[in-house]
Amino acid sequence: METLSFKSIAEVANESVKYIKDRKDHTIIPLKTGWNKFNKVCCGGIEPNMIFTIAGTSGSGKSAFVNTLENNLIDLNPDQEIVILNFSFEMLSYRQIGRKLSNKLRRTTSELYSAEEDLSEEDFAKVKAEAEKIKKYQIYYVDTPSTVEGIEKTIDYFHNSIAKDKWLIVILDHTLLVEGEGSERSIIVDLQKMFIRKKKLPKTSIIQISQMNRNIEQPERLNN
């Protein structure tokens, strides 16, 4: 086995100083979100070469959070060329768009889907107009669950073609829906190893959604 590559502390110190200078000179500008607290916790927003993990229990609004985050990244950072690759395993992609339209039109999805009474022609016209606007977003959905290998190949394809020289945002919703042989834990371990490799690609950020076990809310878990 060959010796692992290594760097001296002097080399790493120079890299750190360069990063601080690039932040100071705004050569590196984090992507803003609509949540000031989130931006503050993340040192200004979404940065390149980072993995962000959003965890919550079932039904806590994880997918809704990601949907809003997608809008924020594009709407609030118009000076950045962004491509979003969303592995939307939890929800079909057309439902994701329904949520976007709901958010932008300030109407519930129940209203948009005529759950109680038919949507008016006037409101439907607004839906179509808003849909034309979001068609311009560079967002791509994969809503068929796949393996770690399939996800990696798709990320590589996007990085080398569709998102070439642009900022690639990879979103996975969610980690427990990744397919593969072996235990759930082994699949997640392989997924994290792959994401660590992919985050090192130029101008690539990874946002993964993870579902917490409901036992987390039991008294003994809360107390400990």
Residue 219 predicted with pLDDT over 90: no
| Tokens linked to 124 | 């439907």
- What's the CA gap between 154 and 138, in Å, rounded? 16
Strands (E), the chain: 50-56, 82-88, 139-142, 167-173, 204-211
For residue 141, give the nearest of 195, 94, 85 by alpha carbon. 85
So what's the pLDDT on residue 215?
65
Contacts of 207 (CB under 8 A, 6+ apart): 46, 51, 52, 54, 66, 69, 169, 170, 171, 172
Residue 223 predicted with pLDDT over 80: no
DSSP for residue 200 = T
Residue 26 predicted with pLDDT over 70: yes
Question: β-pairing, 139-142 with 82-88?
Answer: parallel
* pLDDT digit string, tens, across residues 125-162: 999 999 999 999 999 999 999 999 999 999 999 999 99
- What's the CA gap between 168 and 23, in Å, rounded? 19
Give me the phi and psi of 179, to 5 degrees please: -90, 165
So what's the pLDDT on residue 221?
64
- What's the CA gap between 138 and 149, in Å, rounded? 24
* pLDDT digit string, tens, across residues 76-94: 999 999 999 999 988 888 8
In contact, 33 and 76? CB cutoff 8 Å:
yes
The average pLDDT across 17-24 equals: 94
* pLDDT digit string, tens, across residues 104-133: 899 899 999 999 889 999 999 999 999 999
pLDDT-based confidence at residue 200 (cuts at 50, 70, 90):
very high
So what's the pLDDT on residue 186?
95
Instruction: Please tell me the total number of residues recorded for the chain in this structure.
Output: 224
Residue 34 three-state SS: coil
